[in-house]
Amino acid sequence: MVVARSNNSISPTEDFFESRLLQKTSGIDSPGALKWDLALILLFCWILVYFCLWKGPKLTGKVVYFTVTFPYLVLLVLLIRGLTLPGAVNGILYFIVPRWELLLNANVWVNAAAQTFNSLGIAFGGIITMSSYNKRNNRILKDVLAIGLLDAFTCVLAGFAIFSILGYLAHNQGKDVHDVVKEGPGLVFIIYPEAFTSMPVSPLISVLFFLMLITLGIDSQFASVEVIVTTIQDHFSLQVKKYLKRKEILVLLVCLISFLCGLPNVTQGGIYFFQLIDNFSSAMSLMYLAFFEVIAITWIYGARRLAKDVEMMTGVRPNIFFVVCWYVFSPLLILGIWIFSLVQYTPFSMAGYEYPGWAIGLGWFLAALSIVCIPAGMIHAVLNSKGQSLWQKFLNALKPVSEEETTTMTSYTKERDVEDVRYNGSTRATKFQEEHHEYPNGSPVKPLSYTKV
């Protein structure tokens, strides 16, 4: 059945989402009142994250078995159901047929980079943090290839599942697929529920779909929180042990502060603040961080030295293709997209709503909070390095950590990792444990060897 609507009318799902659920205000300058129902849901989600993380990676790994596999089952159900609906072919063709003229649009490249960075977790720190719990001789190349291929497969699978249902919705409303596609939360909370209402067993499909979104969101938070907790433990281990005593208290504080930071998003005008943060933190900041990470590791530390380190740990030397990518392709590609986006920069807007100047300034300020960590860290490293002059300090700060300096780190590292083994069941092997052949999982690995500088 096709329902004729006036140009000013909205669908029931859109009316429910914007007028009843969000009680959306006129703009970001009218934040409105706190939505207590959404605030309680936000609190529940952070409580769930806390209890999944408080005992460390061992418990988190068990939870991830469900949060990772369940979305694949739901995507397969949605894909199979979507392919049986009329109009699904049009939606899939819209998804896979390229429109080459859009390659000249900087937003396409920025959004593609943001999608890749977010789906793979690049520049978030999560990959580095989680991999620190692997065995020292873990075959990293196999993991990298598996993660990359699985991520690409997941994106294609999700695309087919999503656009098959969008094609059905367009067919049902007598529109082109382009006319029913929405960006941001509108796709999830407006378009999809509207499509589900006309399907058989729509309540079951809706429950599975939104349960999948919950598991994906919580799963993403695991890595983010673990990055913060591990960083604080590494850099302020003595203070954490003195004042907090246990890792569980540190995780609680991180989750509590994160919950408080999320409260502006659940006000009546919170959707504007949410979209502002998403725009300024998900693309530009990540590319900035990734670019300087690549420069620091491949050009300052050295790609050849990194390749030797990988060979020393795994027994397999990386292919020359990887070294060339580290040296040339990765930094140039990131820098090119970054410059391209700055050249074609346009003020951020949301579904026709133009953000005021102060809001755009706030967005750049929030983006700068993550960006400023790099120059701040550089200044801290230079000031704390050895040398008589500032130039000598600068040169020494660029050198890898020597064997002599690493020995000063072993005492607190051993304490933290022994605590990880006691409370978390972690299999992380520290520098101290490897040098003294003390392994938390009993597996023998080669002792560390450090490069003299």
Annotated binding site for Na(+): 119, 216, 219-220
Q: Which of 108, 121, 114, 99 is nearest to 340 (CA)?
A: 108
- Bind-site residues: 119, 216, 219-220
The tokens describing 72, both together, are: 């694949």
Question: Can you tell me whether residue 391 is helix, strand or coil?
Answer: helix
The tokens describing 403, both together, are: 């064997």
The number of beta carbons lying within 10 Å of the beta carbon of residue 272 is: 24
Q: Let me know if 149 is exposed, middle or buried by CB neighbors in 10 A (0-12, 13-18, 19+).
A: exposed
Task: State the alpha helices, DSSP H only, in 133-262.
Answer: 140-173, 177-180, 185-186, 192-196, 202-235, 237-239, 247-262
Given a contact cutoff of 8 angstroms between Cβ atoms, the answer to whether 11 and 172 are in contact is no
Backbone CA torsion sign across 365, 367, 370, 371: negative
Q: Which residue's entry shows tokens 């006319």? A: 179
The number of beta carbons lying within 10 Å of the beta carbon of residue 299 is: 12
HEC secondary structure over 190-220: HHHHHHHCCCCCHHHHHHHHHHHHHHHHHHH
Question: Which residues, including other chains, have CB under 8 Å from residue 158's CB and lie 6 or more apart?
Answer: 75
The tokens describing 282, both together, are: 């998900």
The number of beta carbons lying within 10 Å of the beta carbon of residue 434 is: 16
CA-to-CA dists, residue 427 to 85, 237, 337, 421, angstroms:
48, 19, 39, 7
Q: How far apart are CA 55 and CA 327, in angstroms?
A: 39
